Amino acid sequence: MMNKEFLLKHGFEEVPPDGIKEILQQYSTIKEVSIDTNITEPISMLVGRTRAKKATITLEKVENWQERLIVVKSDRAKTRLFNVPLEEMGNILIKHYDNSMVEIIFDIAEKGISVQICFQA
């Protein structure tokens, strides 16, 4: 993750994994989403970027597995843009902007992967 102290000083709030559920329930349908995936160890490097218009963000259980954060593009094929178990998410930071934009930054377990999701409600 980027410098956590810097982000906290600039408007981000730390959220527990259970708190993300309450926040995402407010934003089921979104106008635009951008997802960046970075490797943070041993060096920082962007490894994936996805953008889409009209998508949904949900928290759901897939079969008998744990709850997952899923971002689905609103197309005919219902393309899954992102899918991660909620229990793998750590160091969750969130920032709400005035123009109904939300930015979520979190690490995936201790695998050296950081994800940034920005979306406009």
- Type of residue at 114: S
Tens-place pLDDT, residues 81-108: 999 888 889 899 999 998 889 999 999 8
- Type of residue at 19: G
Structural domains of the chain sorted by starting position, each given as residue range(s) with its CATH number in brackets: 4-120 (2.30.29)
Tens-place pLDDT, residues 54-83: 998 888 887 777 888 889 999 999 999 999
Q: What distance separates the 2 farthest-apart alpha carbons in the chain? A: 42
- Type of residue at 101: M
Q: What is the pLDDT of residue 2?
A: 66
**Cα-based angle 120, 70, 114 (whole degrees, multiple of 5):** 80
Helix (H) or strand (E) holding 68: strand 67-73
Q: What is the distance between the alpha carbons of residues 103 and 33, in angstroms, rounded to a whole number? A: 10
Query: What pTM was computed for the model?
Result: 0.86
